[in-house]
């Protein structure tokens, strides 16, 4: 009677080429999607302070650039549109928190004017963004 398996040799090596191919494909996918997840940064020269608030990420971000341009969550906006958006959002979330970033070279009057628009929209919790140092 013939044996069922005539090939009783030991396996001496494992072919890892398919595993390397899969890992390389995953690496390429992560590299491509990482570019889409990157948050745009705003170049503002913030004033320095001894202590900074660690909870800035949990608030709405508003910035005023040196040239007077207003940004809401990184997108350029007019003061009137900012008022409308904040007025709507403050009614939905009454304890909404807003972080205002202003360039250190900006006129103080521009900052207080923008703070007035923010307060008029119903936002009472305003933090000023500073650079720890």
- Burial (Cβ within 10 Å: 0-12, 13-18, ≥19) of residue 105: exposed
pLDDT of residue 26: 92
- In our burial notation (b when 16+ CB lie closer than 10 A, e otherwise), range 66-87 reads eeeebbbeeeebeeeebbebbe
Residues 105 and 118: their CA atoms lie apart, in Å, by 21
pTM: 0.55
The domains of the chain are located at 48-132
Cα 42 vs. chain centroid, distance in angstroms?
11
Q: Which fold has domain 48-132?
A: Nucleotidyltransferase; domain 5 (3.30.420)
pLDDT of residue 132: 67
Task: Indicate the DSSP class of residue 40.
Answer: P
pLDDT of residue 46: 55
List the pLDDT tens digit at each of the 133 positions of the chain. Answer: 455 555 667 777 788 888 899 999 999 988 887 766 555 555 555 555 555 555 544 678 888 888 888 888 888 888 888 889 888 988 888 888 888 888 878 888 888 888 888 889 888 888 877 776 5
Provide φ and ψ at 102, rounded to 5°: -130, 140
């Amino acid at each position: 009677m013939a044996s069922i398996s005539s090939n009783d040799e030991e396996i001496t090596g494992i072919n890892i080429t398919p595993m390397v191919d899969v890992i390389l494909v995953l690496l390429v996918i992560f590299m491509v999607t990482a570019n889409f997840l990157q948050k745009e940064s705003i170049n503002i020269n913030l004033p320095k302070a001894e202590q900074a608030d660690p909870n800035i990420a949990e608030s709405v971000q508003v910035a005023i650039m040196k040239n007077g341009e207003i940004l809401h969550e990184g997108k350029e906006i007019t003061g009137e549109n900012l008022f409308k958006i904040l007025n709507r959002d403050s009614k939905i979330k009454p304890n909404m928190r807003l972080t205002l970033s202003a360039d250190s070279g900006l006129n103080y009057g521009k900052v207080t004017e923008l703070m007035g628009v923010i307060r008029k929209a119903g936002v009472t919790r305003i933090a000023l963004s500073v650079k720890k140092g």
